[in-house]
Amino acid sequence: MSTATHRLHDEIAATLARWEEDEARVRARLAAPGIAQPEQLMQRTGLQMFEAIGAGDLPSVPIGATMDFWPIEFEFGRTVFQGRPSARFLNPMGTIHGGWIATLLDTCVGCAIHTTLPAGKGYTTAELKISYVRALTPKVPLVRAEGRIINAGRQVGFAEGRLVGPDGKLYAHATTTCVVLNPGG
């Protein structure tokens, strides 16, 4: 094995180890999956809501537990979720089902928009476009979906996301258009 190849394997192993540590730290703080009460949410901005979920002050999101992906990072206009593409998400051809990938990307791009919303606002996905770049299999132990806003307005938000493995390979990317809602109005 060449020095460059050895170095690349070491970098991938270090990234995977860091991602595993990040997930363990996050999962240790998360509350059980559930649905927060409206009064717990209405006074929080989108970012404050995600910070409360990350701190275990609000229930974790049921879809994450069901689909084996977890919130890793939140900041204004940016989110990172991490998932395990295990055999239980395989399609008949032996690759990870596109629906699992779509759910993970929809989550990261929608939540990126949600982090920009003021208290009392919500959102819903109006459009989601995904491009699948390469097949994903359980041989890839973890993937990360990073969502970033393109533009967040009062009525509509736009975001983009990328799904990558620990080796930096791109598996899929997405764009979304979300409609901002006023649940109480």
Closest to 18 in 3D by CA, of 135, 144, 112, 171: 144
Which pLDDT belongs to residue 119? 94
Which three-class secondary structure state does DSSP give residue 78? strand
Helical segments of the chain, H only: 3-29, 38-41, 46-55, 62-67, 98-114
Question: What is the average per-residue pLDDT within 18-27?
Answer: 97
Question: What is the average per-residue pLDDT within 44-68?
Answer: 96
- Per-residue pLDDT tens digits for 79-138: 999 999 999 999 999 999 999 999 999 999 999 999 999 999 999 999 999 999 999 999
pLDDT band (50, 70, 90) for residue 8: confident
For domain 3-181, the question of CATH label 3.10.129.10 is answered with yes
Which pLDDT belongs to residue 46? 96
Question: What is the average per-residue pLDDT within 166-181?
Answer: 97
What is the pTM for the complete model shown?
A: 0.94
Which pLDDT belongs to residue 5? 81
Question: What is the average per-residue pLDDT within 38-44?
Answer: 91
pLDDT band (50, 70, 90) for residue 185: low
- The mean predicted confidence, pLDDT, of the chain is 95
Tell me the C-alpha distance between 171 and 175, whole Å: 14
> With 90 as the cut, is the pLDDT of residue 60 above it?
yes
Tell me the C-alpha distance between 15 and 108, whole Å: 20
> With 90 as the cut, is the pLDDT of residue 184 above it?
no
